Amino acid sequence: MARVTTENGNLVVEIEGLDKLWSLKSSLTIPLANVRGATADPGMVKEPKGLRAPGTHLPGVITAGTFHQDGERVFWDVRDGARAVVIELADQRYARLVIEVADPAATVDLIEKAVTR
């Protein structure tokens, strides 16, 4: 699971627990100017992931790490698809982040408000 905050003009995604090990990341910091938006998207976990490099994918258990699909890098950290949020990025290493959060609606609201400021 991930915790999302905004500070000093950045979106900060902190990977929690053992997901740090599976995703090979502990945090991501993205300038808010490069965040296009966010949506709660539980169906995203059923989409093809692409080529895993590096990361972990155990279908129905966890998808975590960097995946390459259609020429884009996507960062995943999801166990429970019902709590998945997709964050679209521009001019960043990742084209999007697909992360599991405790409260998808509140996370999307936080990101959308921060982006529109």
Confidence of residue 33 (pLDDT cuts 50, 70, 90): very high
Report the predicted TM-score, pTM, of the whole model to 2 decimal places: 0.94
- Counted domains in the chain: 1
Residue 27 has a pLDDT of 96
Total residue length of the chain? 117
For residues 91-102, give the mean pLDDT. 97
Distances in Å between the Cα of 32 and the Cα atoms of 22, 37, 92, 113 are 26, 10, 11, 11
Write out the residue range of the structural domain in which residue 6 sits.
Answer: 2-116
17 near 1, Cβ under 8 Å?
yes
